[in-house]
Amino acid sequence: MKEIEKKLWYTLNEVSQRLSCSVEHVLYLGMLSKLQLSFDWVVFNDQNHDAGSRLEFTCSRYIIEDGSANYREPLRLPFYHNDPYLRFAALDVSQIALLNKQQKIKLKQGLIGDVELDINPVAMRDEDAYLVLTIDDVVVSEVSLNHYIAEYAKSKPAQESEKPTHQQQKELDNTYKTIALFALRLAEEMPIKFTKNGNLNISALAEDVVSCIPVDNNKQQNSTGLSVRTICQRITKGSELLES
């Protein structure tokens, strides 16, 4: 079967499933600006036309000149057909916080990149004309979600890292066993140097291995992860696995 094309955006329920958390926590991440929460303004604009166009959707951008004077430059609504992401206007932190508290808000503004989207009644006195946004209308783009997942993985403490799979653990155990087998072979070849009272002298083996680490142009050894203690632990771990 042909592979289904990946989604470009997800509902809050879908995001909560991807992150294994509640929808409330997804909103919380939005309030922290760790996830960008947005809404599909195109759908609301289409609904507005169907309802008689009581709302006006307009776009503008702030223009700053000489570092002080600024004004709004009116713009056309984004041509989203060639770029689906232009369908989505981002919510700000205050809007998300209010949405989290009330479950729905009256929306007057959003942000499409650096372009402001304004939603206002066509008739100034039409107080009943406004856009109502609910939690079910909020989405997160694939780009924003993947960025958060990547950043979260970087900041994860070592103790929270994922456990190795069964296959990964098997390969790791085999590596330890191989290290122990090399140690045993060296001890057989040079028993005086690498055995003590008939047993493997792990400390002597580790010290000898460390002395073999090559030096760089500055005559320094790069022994990161190859200390005597670490090598002793690996030989011991491998020996225990061989005996089990």
Q: What is the per-residue pLDDT across 1-40, written as a single tens digit (0 to 9) for each?
A: 456 677 888 999 999 999 988 899 999 999 999 999 999 9
Q: Which two tokens stand for residue 119?
A: 């939603």
Same domain, 27 and 117: yes
Q: What is the pLDDT of residue 68?
A: 58
**Is the pLDDT score of 67 beyond 70?**
no
Q: What is the pLDDT of residue 52?
A: 80
| pLDDT tens profile 174-208 | 898 999 898 899 889 888 888 888 888 888 888 88
Band (pLDDT 50/70/90 cuts) for residue 74 is confident
Q: Which two tokens stand for residue 244?
A: 């089990």
Q: What is the pLDDT of residue 203?
A: 86
**Is the pLDDT score of 47 beyond 60?**
yes
Same domain, 99 and 14: yes
**Is the pLDDT score of 215 beyond 90?**
no
> Mapping DSSP to helix (H, G, I), strand (E, B) and coil, where does residue 137 land?
helix
Q: What is the pLDDT of residue 138?
A: 94
DSSP 213: S
Write out the H or E segment, with its range, that includes residue 113.
none
Q: Which two tokens stand for residue 59?
A: 């776009």
Q: What is the pLDDT of residue 63?
A: 74
114, 132, 160 - which closes a domain: 160
Same domain, 154 and 134: yes
2 falls within a domain: no
Q: What is the mean pLDDT of residues 155-177?
A: 74
Same domain, 106 and 197: no
Same domain, 211 and 237: yes
Number of structural domains, the chain? 2
In angstroms, the CA 104 to CA 97 distance is 11
Q: What is the pLDDT of residue 38?
A: 94
Longest Cα separation, the chain? 99
Same domain, 13 and 101: yes
Question: Are residues 135 and 12 in contact, defined by beta-carbon separation less than 8 angstroms?
Answer: yes
pTM of structure: 0.59
